[in-house]
Amino acid sequence: MKIEDLTIATAHELLLNRAVSAVELCELALARSTAVEPQVNAFLHIDAEDARRQAEAADARIAAGTAQPLTGIPLAIKDVLCTRGMATTCGSHMLAGWKPPYDATAVAKLRAAGAVLLGKTNMDEFAMGSSTENSAYQVTCNPWDTTRVPGGSSGGSAVAVAAGEVLGALGTDTGGSIRQPAALSGVTGFKPTYGRVSRYGVVAFASSLDQVGPLAHTAHDCAILLEAIAGADPHDGTAANLSVPHYAAQLDGTMRGLRIGVPSEYFVEGMEPGVASAIRAALDTLHDLGAELVDVSLPYTKYALPVYYIVAPAEASANLARFNGVRYGLHVDGEDGWDEMERTRGRGFGPEVRRRIMLGTYALSSGYYDAYYRRAQQVRTLIRRDFQAAFEQVDVLAAATTPTVAFPIGAKIDDPLAMYLNDVLTLPASLAGLPGLAMRCGTSQDLPVGLQLIGKPFAETDVLRVADAYQRATNWHTLQPPL
């Protein structure tokens, strides 16, 4: 038995039938990680002994007949989510060695479900990046071609799944940081509606945008993970007080009767021909499966990039002000308090984080707030209204996730604008707070191409239904990288 051949759903059945134990599954995951980590660098930290203890506890739950769908399932956690007693660095020297005294709500819910958490995955520093090259510790490599990036900022989580080290992982998505690496690494990634999952215990980047979500091999597995972590939370006032649907139970393999909108604006200038071809073929498959395709327009899409890079850095500049070398994290001595703070932040933050803090501080500064931040928020409202108008005609939107396949490591790291443009298709849904899923739908240049599905607020089930039906009819999600 190979762990890379399993899904969460199939592993759950094997555990219930006693064909494998949670301890054996954990050992498979640890052995796979030992074998492939030197090639991909997905993890920043693996705690093998703690994982074995969790697996033993999971076996006891299974024997007692109290197993849940995630009991005994090996998972990974993006290093931006707090994990009690386990280092949480956010991929930054600023938090090197910091161990939180509590779990993020999403992590606590996975523990309560009996999942086996192997460790923490690499990421762009403080979730700021699109390639996982901005980590202060290591560069994560795409398992389909280790000379290329896996996407970011949840690149470590995407690769841990794609490389078969775990069966699922948590990431966070602020402007595309689950969907983009899922697409480039050939897995399924789901950003829920803003507020569907608690942000408590997530080290904040942009508080009006950040959202926790799952990455896995299939939409069905994402549904299982989402159901486990979603719901209201007294620790987070932005977590919606809504009941959580039984997502997986509603996936019947059909999408007949659903209307799927195809926004013309998402076939952007500069999109690689191979990507466009794979997306059009996927749309044809959706039509063949019974969905009605409808052309729609989202005219304010073109403003999403500049709006995002005002709103998100502005919020980041405020959120990251807490890292001043006084209460926790890195501290560098200086001549006085101001000098210490300057030295600490200068040494602790990498170049991309410093760049975004400066952008955000400028946008919020006296005399520029109205010209930049306020205007960006007004255009953000127009982007949201575009989606509202489109969803009066359709149930789900379908488009490319990225305009290109995974690019070579180092190709864009010194060109911030080129790097930012890689998120041009994921930013609009983030600004509108909508649920979005990315999954593999083809190949170009021997690399994965990702289809993006966007749904109405809190209509995650519609998105998952389309993705699940597509994956039952195709085999793109079953392909494995040549590791």
Instruction: Output DSSP code: residue 249.
Output: G
Would you please indicate which residues are annotated as catalytic (active-site) residues?
78, 153, 177
User: CA angle, corner 196, sides to 473 and 51, nearest 5?
Assistant: 75
CA distances (Å), 146 to each of 18, 242, 390, 408, 482, in order? 36, 42, 39, 9, 10
Scanning the structure block, which residue is given the tokens 């749904």?
455
Within a 10 A sphere around the Cβ of 49, how many other Cβ atoms? 8
Question: Could you tell me which residues are beta bridge partners of residue 290?
Answer: none
Say whether 397 sits in a helix, a strand or coil.
Answer: strand
Whether the CB-CB separation of 21 and 234 falls below 8 Å is answered with: no
Question: Could you tell me which residues are beta bridge partners of residue 211?
Answer: 173
List strands edge to edge, sheet with 436-444.
43-46, 116-121, 74-78, 168-173, 211-216, 188-191, 436-444, 447-455, 396-400, 259-263, 292-296
CA distances (Å), 341 to each of 176, 315, 351, 389, in order? 31, 20, 17, 47
Helix (H) or strand (E) run with residue 450 in it: strand 447-455
Q: How many Cα atoms are found within 13 Å in the side-chain-facing hemisphere of 385?
A: 8
- Here the tokens at position 330 are 């890195």
DSSP code string of 46-105? E-HHHHHHHHHHHHHHHHTT---TTTT-EEEEETTB-BTTB---TTSGGGTT---SS--H
Whether the CB-CB separation of 233 and 241 falls below 8 Å is answered with: no
Whether the CB-CB separation of 79 and 177 falls below 8 Å is answered with: no
CA distance 334 to 258: 62
